[in-house]
Homo-oligomer: A and B are copies of this chain.
Amino acid sequence: MTGSAAIIGGGVIGGGWAARFLLNGWDVRVFDPDPEAERKIGEVLDNARRALPGLSDAPLPGEGRLSFHDDVADAVAGADWIQESVPERLEVKHATFAAIQAACGEAAIIGSSTSGFKPSDLQQGAARPGQIVVTHPFNPVYLLPLIELVTTDANRPEMIETARTTLKALGLFPLHVRKEIDAHIADRFLEAVWREALWLVRDGIATTEEIDEAIRMGFGLRWAQMGLFETYRVAGGEAGMRHFMAQFGPCLSSPWTRLMDVPEFTDELVDLITEQSDAQSGAHSIRDLERIRDTNLVGMMRALKQQDWGAGAVLNAHDATLRTGGALAARIDDLERIDRPIPTLARAVPLDWTDYNGHMTESRYLEAFACATDRFMELIGCDSAYISDPEGGSYFTAETHIRHLSEVHAGTRIRIETQLLLGQGRKLHLFHRMSAGDTLLATGEHFLLHVSLATRRPAPPSAAIAAALARLTEAQADLPWPEGAGAAIRRPA
């Protein structure tokens, strides 16, 4: 699902939206009066191209077209989605919506990136209030899945459903806030912590660095994967949530916090925080910090992806859509041709597959080959249903021979084609070629044995798998024996 998106306001947030749409195949039309807008969005796009495509284990669609426009009317013409990310002042928002609605289609969705205003505030005085919703994202918008989708009774249910579907198709996690409230949900927590942190710095209890350590070395790690309540549920032990509350509820009346008061935002406090932040993070430029942050986020989100949990589950669901959206063949018989090596992997090299030089790490070549083997197995009918069937089985790798021929960097689109060398009885002998463009990066020769999962011993596969392998053997019989296959490690002269 792609279309045309208008980005009204192109700062860090608008740029992040632009990247999210563009890299998911949408055309993006930007309006921002800032003469620097094109450069700024280009920088966000550079970051996004480095981090987002490899976050997915499926290939993203080709990038859409990016264009810059001199006025709002031009930008929103023909747009399916219009994302407003202008400064956080209500009169500016209202003027922007007026300009947008004077020119856009009535079916377009207008999402606002506002962090503070309620949708009913934004809809006031609009030509078509029902066209406007809050879609509040989190920086970096091209990586973090959360979108607070806040609506009012003016928004029709079908329009809300379209908004949800569209956001999901961008790999986002729309959280529908059913009851509008200033600052929605997440920013209320951020505000609470921000106020308490200002007190701690002002009163000399802790520096900005100490506060950050107190967060990221402890509960920050917990919250990245379970949030507040589920974490406390686990802490309560077998007795669960009720026990936890019985134990910690009374703290509410203790004099623990300064929350009942708000610190005065003086120049001295601003100076103090700026100085401490410079001491803490000044060794890195903002550009460096952005890339460090993105690499950390990609690594952590891909770790969660392996567990199909939280943000990782969102990524997996998005991959599944990308795969079916690309009409991925279920079986070899659905393929157009099987008389040549079969495409078994197409993806971008993710950031967490690379070393400090930016090259793909040795063992990740095998990870890619193993994914290609899994895909090959799926195509011959050895899929997850077969593997989980008590009567079923699986192919276990016995031997692997990899030749590294060329290096590759994060973000590069790689693909693997697989030739069947032998598929008979319990034996499966595959030859994978990994390429980027016309460059052969590596070859992987794999010998596998079919194993009964009941006995954990070698056994023939199902008749259906044997038949699929027989068809493939016949179709690929005339392919030349691959250079390097069946060879021992050579010692070149």
Q: Which residues of A contact B (CB under 8 A)?
A: 12, 88, 116, 138-139, 144-146, 148, 173, 175, 177-179, 181-198, 200, 203-206, 208-231, 233-238, 240-242, 245-257, 259-260, 262-263, 265, 270, 273-274, 276-278, 280-281, 286, 289-290, 292-293, 295-297, 299-304, 306-307, 309-311, 314, 352, 361-367, 369-370, 396-404, 422, 427, 429, 445, 447, 449, 486-492
CB-contact partner of A179 in B204, B290, B404, under 8 A: B204
Q: Are B489 and A429 in contact, CB atoms less than 8 angstroms apart?
A: yes
Complexed CA–CA distance, A116 and B255 (Å): 10
A225 and B221 CA atoms in complex are apart in Å by 8
Q: Contacts A221-B301, A307-B299; is A235 near B139 (CB within 8 Å)? A: yes
State the number of copies, please: 2
- Chain B residues lying within 8 Å of A116, measured Cβ to Cβ, are 251, 254, 256
Residues of the B chain whose Cβ atoms lie less than 8 Å from the Cβ of A215 = 186, 189, 223, 227-228
Chain B minimum-CB-distance residue to A287: B238
Instruction: List, in ascending order, chain B residues with CB within 8 A of A195's CB.
Output: 192, 252, 259
From B189, B263, B303, give the contact of A303 (CB < 8 A): B303
Select which of B190, B200, B220, B259 is within 8 A of A259 by beta carbon: B259
B297–A191 CB distance below 8 A: no
The residue from B203, B217, B224 contacting A173, defined by CB atoms under 8 A apart = B217
Q: Which 6 A-B pairs have the closest CB atoms?
A: A212-B227, A299-B303, A220-B223, A146-B218, A224-B224, A146-B217
Chain B: minimal CB distance from A417 (Å): 19
CB distance from A263 to the nearest CB of B (A): 7
A272, chain B: closest CB distance, angstroms: 11
Whether the Cβ atoms of A225 and B296 lie closer than 8 Å is: yes
Cross-interface CB contact of A185 among B205, B234, B352, cutoff 8 Å: B205
> A252-B265, A254-B116 are known contacts. Are A277 and B241 too (CB-CB below 8 A)?
yes
Bound Cα distance from A185 to B215, whole angstroms: 9
List the B side residues contacting A192 at CB < 8 Å. Answer: 189, 192-193, 195-196, 257, 259
* Contact across chains for B138 and A225 when beta carbons are under 8 A apart: no
Contact B400 A402 (CB under 8 A): yes
| 5 A-B contact pairs sorted by A residue (CB < 8 Å) | A12-B235, A138-B219, A175-B213, A179-B205, A192-B259
- Complexed CA–CA distance, A296 and B361 (Å): 23
Say whether B256 contacts A214, CB under 8 Å: no
**A447 nearest in chain B by CB position:** B489
Q: Given known contacts A182-B256, A252-B262, what 13 new A-B pairs fall within 8 Å (CB)?
A: A145-B218, A175-B210, A193-B193, A220-B225, A221-B224, A234-B290, A240-B286, A253-B262, A299-B303, A303-B352, A400-B404, A422-B491, A427-B492
Evaluate contact between A273 and B146: CB separation under 8 angstroms. Answer: no
Q: Are B397 and A399 in contact (CB under 8 A)?
A: no
Closest beta carbon of chain B to A194's beta carbon, Å: 7
The reply to whether A205 and B177 form a contact with Cβ atoms under 8 Å apart is: yes
Q: Do residues A189 and B214 form an inter-chain contact, with CB atoms below 8 A? A: yes
* Nearest chain B CB to A356 CB, angstrom units: 9
The answer to whether B486 and A489 touch across the interface, beta carbons within 8 angstroms, is yes
Which B residues lie within 8 Å of A148 (CB)? 214
Q: Is the CB of B297 within 8 A of A225?
A: yes
Which of the residues B177, B193, B209, B280 comes within 8 Å of A189, measured between beta carbons? B193
| Residues of the B chain whose Cβ atoms lie less than 8 Å from the Cβ of A216 | 223-227, 310-311
A220-B225, A233-B286 known; A302+B303 contact, CB < 8 A: yes
Shortest Cβ distance from residue A55 to the other chain B in the assembled complex, whole angstroms: 12
Taking CB atoms, residues of chain B closer than 8 Å to A262 are 252-253, 260
A246, chain B: closest CB distance, angstroms: 8
Q: What's the minimum C-beta distance from A190 to chain B, rounded to whole angstroms?
A: 6
A447 contacts which of B12, B370, B491 (Cβ < 8 Å)?
B491
Is A144 within 8 A of B182, CB to CB?
no
Asked if A310 and B286 sit within 8 Å, CB to CB, the answer is no
In angstroms, Cα B264 to Cα A250, docked, is 10
Please state if A281 and B363 are interface contacts (CB–CB under 8 Å): no
Give Cα A295–Cα B304 distance, bound, in whole angstroms: 9
Assess whether B289 is in contact with A309, with CB atoms less than 8 Å apart.
no
Tell me the smallest distance from the CB of A139 to a CB of chain B, in Å.
5
Measured between C-beta atoms, what is the minimum distance from A310 to chain B in Å? Answer: 5
Q: What's the Cα separation between A214 and B223 when bound, in Å?
A: 10
Q: Is the CB of B489 within 8 A of A273?
A: no
Q: Indicate if the CB atoms of A185 and B200 lie closer than 8 Å.
A: yes
How far is A234 from B227 in the complex, measured between Cα atoms in Å?
23
Q: Contacting A399 at CB < 8 Å: which of B242, B295, B403, B422?
A: B403
Residues in B whose Cβ lies below 8 Å from that of A254: 116, 182-183
Chain B, Cβ-Cβ closest to A204: B179
Tell me, rounded to whole Å, the shortest Cβ–Cβ distance linking A254 to chain B: 7
